[in-house]
Amino acid sequence: MSKPIFELVDQLPTSGLTISMLNALDFVAPGEWQNTVGFVNTIKTVTGETDDSLIQQIGERAIYLYNDRSQGYQTAMWLYQTVDGTDKALGAAALANKVGESIPLLGFLNSITPKADKAQVIDLSLKVVAELVAFCQINGIPGDSIGDFVASLGEYSGESLIRMVALVCVDGLIPLGPDFINKALSGLSQTNPNELDKSSTFQGMKDLIPGNNVGSKLDFIGNSLDSVKGWMGGIVSANNLSPQKVVGNLQSFIQFSDDKLDYLAAFLDVSTNYYEHTGTQTLARRLIERAVAEI
């Protein structure tokens, strides 16, 4: 890892498209996510502590834990970054001067190519697997502990919950439609190992996915997606979610027409990094909680 954890948390943005998007999704999990940034501020927020010397102790312990390579924290951070890191340059550069404005999407359509459904399915599935493996890394349990991960989803809150809400809305409903779960499972079942192997995201994280070869890793990805379909379906039904409802809430910061949802999905993909942003916040919280328990 090139940057220390305190620097990653200190450099989290307070505004921009990613923040606007996550705030717009608050209707699914009202009040769950606050954009807590800054390492010292995060320690104060998580612990409620005001004593400067204790805050420093907690921070030093959290940094020590993150730097200990026998722990899984750096691997989890790398996963959050990798699964979110493909194809971001276009969005970041084109939108640098647009923050704070309502952005009409039409001007960007000629520079964005929507993913084919198969590629979208693979990306959605890999984000689920990244969440699962990162969870296992953070908690020091075997990387194939699907049951433990699924059980933990019911206790997700804050930045972890809003990350999964964004996954359902932005990587599921908008590009793949209301039946995105069955569509994704069907698409994966018709995917062969060679197709998976062509995914740049898979190439980036394949060494951390359980399995001896691409075929067995594909099976694990399918099992992982299948395991969360009940939880994802629950989020959709409890909030009566549809692509149109999600899009209606995103209209607060971006303008587009309903017949261009595949372009909207591509636009959000290149211009936001919600997985890395909220993943950094999740990791900071877990490190701080553990540091407090150990002091």
- The full set of domain ranges for the chain reads 5-294
Average pLDDT over residues 88-114: 55
Q: Which residue has the higher pLDDT, 199 or 104?
A: 199
Q: Could you tell me the pLDDT band of residue 119, with boundaries at 50, 70 and 90?
A: confident
Query: How much is the pTM?
Result: 0.91
Q: What is the pLDDT of residue 114?
A: 73
178-236 residue pLDDT tens: 999 999 999 999 999 999 998 888 998 999 999 999 999 999 999 999 999 999 999 99
Q: Is the pLDDT of residue 163 over 50?
A: yes
Q: What is the pLDDT of residue 104?
A: 62
Q: Is the pLDDT of residue 55 over 90?
A: yes
Q: What is the pLDDT of residue 264?
A: 84
Average pLDDT over residues 69-86: 90
Tokens 């939880």, residue? 231
Which residues does residue 254 pair with via DSSP β-bridges, in sequence order?
103
Select from 114, 109, 102, 95 the least CA-distant residue to 255: 102
Token pair for 219: 């099976």
Q: What percent of the chain has pLDDT over 70?
A: 90
Q: Which residues does 232 contact at the CB level (< 8 Å), separation at least 6?
A: 168, 172, 181
Q: What is the pLDDT of residue 94?
A: 47
- H/E/C letters for each residue in the chain? CCCCHHHHHHCCCCCCHHHHHHHHHHHCCCCCCCCCCCHHHHHHHHHCCCCHHHHHHHHHHHHHHHHCCCCCHHHHHHHHHHHHCCCCHHHHHHHCCCCCCCEECHHHHHHCCCCCHHHHHHHHHHHHHHHHHHHHHHHCCCCCCHHHHHHHHCCCCHHHHHHHHHHHHHHHHHHHCCCHHHHHHHHHHCCCHHHHHCCHHHHHHHHHCCCCCHHHHHHHHHHHHHHCHHHHHHHHHHCCCCHHHHHHHHCCCEECCHHHHHHHHHHHHHHCCHHHHHHHHHHHHHHHHHHHHHC
- Name the residue type at position 67: N
